[in-house]
Structure 1
């Protein structure tokens, strides 16, 4: 309806545009004064990824198809993420890694929308020709066992993503938990990031344990980030971390940096941004929200 009103308004001012500059300016101002109230501030169209867009993407060469589909998902075209997730495995071997694709995958992986993150994972798996299967998990874990220093981080990250897509979750979760206790600080950090990618409520408690007990500040920070905003946790799953995060924040024996990270994670999860780092105030507010 808005589109038709603007069209009619535009036709009504055609003559004025053909006239003098003064009349043209007046016509533009008149058009704006009438049209602007038709729209809410910040409103925009949100077209769906329907058959038209699917057909347009399908007609593109393989490389452009993958990149454009992921770009539409990043731009929140409704249905685009689902399209990518449904078709990415079929794209394996048809496209190559490029700087543009790497940027798109990273951007999608940092999206606030979990479905866009999942779409980035699917393209990532397809980019490296990794199938979502138990056999692929076997190969990756064997690769890690053969060369933990060189391939451990890579293997953990990939099995976590495959697990996030519903494949062999119990075994993958056990492997990720085992990696959290390795003597290699770098590998523990990658295990934390992998656990965030893996997601699921079963990963909340292990990450809280890392946040509260890990000796390495770098690894602890990654655990707080995982609980607060990264990875594939749903909002309801992040709420499960609130009591544990509050316990760290209120712990008189916790180091100052961990306390600061805990409060920041609480803000990210709950949306409460009007409280200082004060345990009494947070306890009252979280109690009111039934989060403790």
Structure 2
């Protein structure tokens, strides 16, 4: 069995999609459709930068999606491949869940681009710049990460009398868990990490504290947007981040996407659940971020990254 998987924020880079667009009119069509839907020259920004503008959440999210879907469409159209015949499940990391839903035709491309633009803007606006932070705990499993987060909140409360937020945002793989919340306890968690058994803690260069309760205003914005958005039943089930389980009903998809804004990305559990369901091959479209995580979670699984035309052709030889 095979799962198609789609990367999240952090996989963007200036130049993304250029080689694919140069090689394939199918890819150019996808980038043009996203530009038209958003009314901006997003693909030009993807190719030329500047990097700081591409990294803005409202640009990075639709750009990463466009690159992933362009790669998939090249496989489908030029390789004469149907997703429903080739993949048993789809899944994506954070914003990648929208890419997965687009791939499985639960959303059309224009709707996906609009939703991700709104999601990026709403997430950025939810917490004033500087008030929140995120940190990766390396060499820490989920239980250890929860303990470090709780200790950081207690330490800051003891110092200041304030009970602030620091929670697990991403359970990525057995050796990497990400925390999110108010800056003070997240920074304290980094300081506590090594003494509490993690290899180390590292503050992440992000502009907002994603996937924590501070994102509630963004969740409310997405709830309103998704109420009005057309959601079809996906061609194959999607493993939802917040459930680490497959969903297919449109209303369940809407609810999961809203809950995902403040909830933990259960990527490690999602991969394990797909393996338990029989998946032996994971194919990542448009990035090389999730494939190494898959190998750390499920060493016996095959993990393939598809970014270039050569990658597309290599995958076609396997399916």
- The structure carrying a bigger helix percent of its residues is 1
Over alpha carbons, which structure has the higher Rg? 1
TM-score range, shorter chain: under 0.3
- The structure carrying a bigger strand percent of its residues is 2
The TM-score, its normalising length taken from structure 1, stands at: 0.27
Relative contact order: is structure 1 or structure 2 higher (C-alpha 8 Å, sep ≥ 6)? 2
The TM-score, its normalising length taken from structure 2, stands at: 0.25
